[in-house]
Structure 1
Amino acid sequence: MEQEKKIKDIETLLKERRPLEEIAMDILDGAFGELDMERKDSLDHFLDFVYSKVQRGNPFIVHLAYPTKRMIDTELEKKVIELINIHLNPDIILPLLKFFTRNVHNSDTNLYIAYLIEADEIIKAIYDTFIMFKKDIFEKDKDKRTQNVRRMQQFLARIDSHSASPLDAAARLKYILEFLALKQNVSHIYTADDIKLNA
């Protein structure tokens, strides 16, 4: 119930006829006013809101292997893209990475959010995190191997090794990076060879 209220609050905020810079400040003020690891902050709620809007949106196929969706409300989508890539950047980076690494069971839907990403800084952070997880795959100590994924997921309770597998997490980020490379030019950040898992 509280989750639905938070999403409604964000929707109301985005419908206000105020500059996006001010709306972003309201979201960020909420994010740093709620530094409680057990609860989602306002950036997490913002991403939940965005995900719920895109999930109910229209299918959008850049390539058959990368099905995604777009918001029905194109004006809202434009606002969200500007907020993510300009006004909430770089603060949105960690919540985005947390969202992507937590989404274990339905990782195809990561593309719903990935479609909205355009900023080089965010794409570079996804790529750098992919590289970190890729290195962790070969760590022999089980706790050390899953440590970075667990840190990124920010779950309080100790989760099983499978949910924090660096191979699975790297594969999810690789899928996002492949999609971003289809959507826009990212050759100044990474190439297809850079995101091979077997290299």
Structure 2
Amino acid sequence: MSKAPAGWETWTALGMGVVSAVFMPADFYSSSVSEIVTVLGFLMAAFVPAMVLAATALRAGGFSIKKIKDLGGAIRRQIRMFGGLLLYALAACVVLIAGKIADWRFPVPPVQHGSQISLYLSSAYLAVVTFLIVFLILRFFAFIAGIESLLNLTIEIAEDEARTGDRQADVDADHELASYDTPAGYGTTIPS
């Protein structure tokens, strides 16, 4: 299975934003602003604890210093990604609210784009909101993958700590068995 090229989500969302600006009315989102902002609010409410979870996920376990630094770098990238998604969701809320306040119009005349399509700057609201929403939807899969990788890290650390605990329990059991006095001749074979 081949991997998607880097940045495909951005290009797809950008394309959808342009298509929406050209083919959809500028006030397309006007009747659903409050619902969209509510959903974006729920997303933002999920991103903040995810960043806190990521920041507190790493424990030493039995990892080497190099492995801990590598994991720390990966977690730092995840936190940045979560923070970026939070900012994109916040930007979408701001643009939606600004569009609603401005009644989905920019107070400027339309700009002619080519000879066949007339693109109004008011469509910029639509393009930006569509870009942000599509981008957030596409990147949400990366958000879920990030949470799963944090779970995998936690499992790996827990398994390592359990192995360390098991080794210590084995050492303790060996010491306890060694401290028992056995009677003389214990364990010898009796001839029949």
TM-score, structure 1 normalization: 0.26
Say which one has the larger Rg: 2
Structure 2-normalised TM-score? 0.27
Structure with more helix by fraction: 2
Higher RCO (CA 8 Å, separation ≥ 6 residues):
2
